Copies of this chain bind each other. A is one copy, B any other.
């Protein structure tokens, strides 16, 4: 029922709050956590347009940073005895989350209520809300 959990994260503070809940769910049968970080392609395009370097170099740098963050989470969850898989994807966050949900055949999703892109989410609704609406599996939303 909670065996394999998808944990989409943008590495924000509220998202990291979810880690304690994930560790707790181990007692309810959770064995594996799929940590998913999506590098928003919209951001990439903006940076490569106005910054220096091609989109590829930008992605490379951001990906490296994401892998570092991912490793920290992997270590923390691993200490609770959970099997952890980290996936870094580039694309539209909502789409990637729903894609990985299918691919990994997860039993539930645990996600922070708001990401780093707070202002945009105030107008368009948070990614978590959309995940909640469109996911086929139970979604647990962790609040600030």
Contact = CB atoms under 8 A, between A and B. Distances in A.
Interface string A116-144: 00000000000011001101111111110
A143 B113 CA distance: 18
A interface: dominant SS: mixed
A28 B28 CA distance: 5
B143 A141 contact: no
A1 B20 CA distance: 9
Interface string A15-45: 0000011001111110000000000000000
Given A20-B1, A21-B1, A29-B27, A138 B135 contact: no
Classify chain A: how many residues form its interface, as a range: 20 to 34
Interface of A: 1-2, 20-21, 24-29, 113, 128-129, 132-133, 135-143
Given A1-B20, A27-B29, A140-B141, 20 more contacts: A1-B21, A1-B24, A21-B138, A24-B28, A24-B29, A25-B28, A27-B27, A28-B28, A113-B132, A129-B129, A129-B132, A129-B133, A135-B143, A137-B143, A138-B142, A138-B143, A139-B140, A139-B141, A139-B143, A140-B140
